[in-house]
Structure 1
């Protein structure tokens, strides 16, 4: 693992992809790309987390 910002794609409660970036801007751009590329997967959930603070920055679909 390298990078502060961790992006995770899970489907059917199983991890499918992970990515780590130092730049929040890059991580958010990747988040948007992953949503576009993987939103048609059954039960897909994409989450961006700040690994330093433990804060969930955004997720899709957004349950709020």
Structure 2
């Protein structure tokens, strides 16, 4: 999937088993910073998950909580 450079890094918040919020950034550094903010702000929601994906390559950079 080829996206504009301003929408390459996709952040997804899932709460109670459903997508609750999405965000897209062109800067990987900004997206990683937002990941940390979203975990802090929304991490207490029921069954919260935060996922950071490179929408161009499909690579998953970070998932909270860890799936280990």
Work out whether the TM-score is over 0.5.
yes
Higher Rg = 2
TM-score by length of 1: 0.94
Corresponding position of 1:55: 59
Count of residue correspondences: 64
Structure 2 residue ranges without an equivalent (≥5): none
Shift of 1:49: 0.2
TM-score by length of 2: 0.89
Structure 1 residue ranges without an equivalent (≥5): none
Match of 1:21 among 25, 33, 36: 25
CA distance in 2, matches of 1:15, 1:33: 17
